[in-house]
Structure 1
């Protein structure tokens, strides 16, 4: 029932968007959830037919996604979903580590109230609950909710947008490897350590906790890709 309500809300949200924005979100979702895996190719008309849209908004969406590094638009040949290599992931995690550490520092410096920090607490609780149920999909959603809320609490909209643009490219790799990694018990503990530093208003501690968290997660992912011999995702 809850799932159905969420799906209806999602459909209603998409229906309220402009056509180019709706096309962008649908295509992006197909890519990030690996329904369109790396190397997937389709003509502009095939994409438009699948989305039940005209080619004009689809073209706008594909050009936008090309700017974000998710696809390559080839004139007269359509679109190809770009792979993400281990080298790409290394660079992506370096960017995430730097920018999210700054976000944590900025959030701590703002001396946020308990009410403002409640979403971080709730996301951490949701991660714990999901792990107890061995529901890795729910855990991943709660984890991303925590990071998204951290970006919002930084108070820096430009920083948030830069991270989200980079984050999309890391999402596919995280979801592909989610069930190949050890149970992610470290992340929740590290999130709670970060929340503690932000609540205390300690920017330096918050920055270092978040830096260590992203460095560990990045190394874990890259080590797994190397172990599995995956050249791209």
Structure 2
């Protein structure tokens, strides 16, 4: 990583176009663990960033972050250590801590693992882990879409898309599966936000989602499981073919 393509998050500087990547930090509430609060705040900001739209490295400045949070550097350092264990940041000796961008291979592996978890969730849903009313609630997410046509901005649909897949996982009712999927999908949501605007994927995504809902409503286990798995693996194929920005 070259110094001329590095953005430093938390470092004071003049305002400019690159400030879209500036961490929006508020003082931390002292009623909860400083480390947990710092961890949650940093993770939320990292996940919300469009890290795949720019090739510039994004560095976290520990000292400035501590000042922004209004706490000492120790809980910030602990929070970043936890984020590193979870694969969101990496520490480079004598250089600092940087936000991680997954490689194409790593993203495809994440999606493949997600396909296995979500397809099992679909199976569990059809085997009565979710009520008919819960399954029907999935349709309400698409209230802004009519006759398969997109009636919302892509940014809005991207969030609906993410919530749809998280809901399927939650509706499985399997605590272990839910825990396994949580961190995995946090990584995936960043790449989903980027890919949903590519190659008419939003239109195809809507059609796939409606077919999945119909299979879940019919409690057609084999079809629901297959549709969910193929939908996820379709994203993996798309990344393999078109996501050259991950190389």
Match for residue 225 of structure 2 among 207, 214, 219: 207
User: SS of the residue aligned with 1:196?
Assistant: helix
User: SS of the residue aligned with 1:40?
Assistant: strand
Aligned residue for 2:157?
A: 139
Aligned residue for 1:188?
A: 206
User: SS of the residue aligned with 2:245?
Assistant: coil
CA distance in 2, matches of 1:168, 1:158: 16
CA distance in 2, matches of 1:193, 1:132: 16
Aligned residue for 1:173?
A: 191
Q: 4+ runs of 1 displaced by more than 6 Å?
A: 35-38
Aligned residue for 1:64?
A: 82
* Residues 1:159 and 2:177 aligned together: yes
State the 1:127 CA deviation: 5.8
Aligned residue for 1:32?
A: 47
Match for residue 98 of structure 1 among 94, 98, 116: 116
Q: Is the 8 A contact 1:127 1:143 kept in 2?
A: no
Deviates more, 1:107-116 or 1:154-163: 107-116
CA distance in 1, matches of 2:80, 2:43: 9
Query: Which structure has more helix as a fraction of its residues?
Result: 1
- Show the 5 A alignment for 1:69-148: 69-74=87-92, 78-110=96-128, 112-126=130-144, 132-148=150-166
User: SS of the residue aligned with 1:80?
Assistant: strand
Deviates more, 1:45-54 or 1:158-167: 45-54
Aligned residue for 1:3?
A: none
Q: 1:46/1:128 Cα in 2 relative to 1: closer, same or farther (>3 Å)?
A: farther
Q: 1:101/1:126 Cα in 2 relative to 1: closer, same or farther (>3 Å)?
A: farther
Any idea what the Cα deviations from partners look like across 1:146-187, whole Å, max 9, x if unmatched?
Answer: 111111110112111211211122222222344344251111
CA RMSD in angstroms, aligned pairs only: 2.9
Contiguous gaps of at least 5 residues in structure 2: 1-24
CA distance in 2, matches of 1:119, 1:53: 42
User: SS of the residue aligned with 1:119?
Assistant: helix
Contiguous gaps of at least 5 residues in structure 1: 1-10
State the 1:134 CA deviation: 4.3
Q: 1:81/1:111 Cα in 2 relative to 1: closer, same or farther (>3 Å)?
A: closer
Any idea what the Cα deviations from partners look like across 1:15-47, whole Å, max 9, x if unmatched?
Answer: 575433321222112222226777312332122
Q: 1:87/1:43 Cα in 2 relative to 1: closer, same or farther (>3 Å)?
A: same
Q: Is the 8 A contact 1:109 1:202 kept in 2?
A: no
Q: Which has the larger radius of gyration?
A: 2
Aligned length: 218
Aligned residue for 1:20?
A: 35
